[in-house]
Amino acid sequence: QVKKQCDQKLLIRMKTKCVPCSLNLDTQCPAGYTKITNGTGTPDCRYYLEIKTHTLSFPGCRHRCVKEFEQPECCQGRWGPDCMGK
């Protein structure tokens, strides 16, 4: 039995929205994603507050999330929907 299907594993990364660090403890990643940061997350962003005519910028935190995704692919030398070849 020769292997026809050689799926590729892809890692999709994303970051949650920037919010005040004190509010970031409970932030969840979107469905299907796994949180890879702990506590209040990473303090590497700024969030903005509009007050009347001014916009204020504050340092904030966000979480990093990853999702593993398998992309179907044929092994070398094979092609088509059923990965036939040769």
User: Does residue 79 lie in a domain region?
Assistant: no
5's CB contacts (< 8 A; 6+ apart) are 72, 73, 74, 75, 83
pLDDT in tens, 49-70: 999 899 999 999 999 999 998 9
DSSP 3-state of 21: helix
Let me know if residue 74 belongs to a domain.
Answer: no
Residue 45 located in a structural domain:
yes
CB 17 within 8 A of CB 65: no
Whether the model clears a pTM of 0.75, i.e. scores above it, the answer is no
**Which pLDDT score, from 0 to 100, does residue 77 have?**
86
Structure tokens at 50: 């509009």
Output the six-digit token pair for 37: 């940061």
Are the C-beta atoms of residues 15 and 31 closer than 8 Å to each other? no
Residue 77 covered by a domain: no
Quick check: 9 pLDDT over 80? yes
Structural domain of residue 55, as residue ranges?
Answer: 8-68
Convert the pLDDT of each residue in 37-52 to its tens digit: 999 999 999 999 999 8
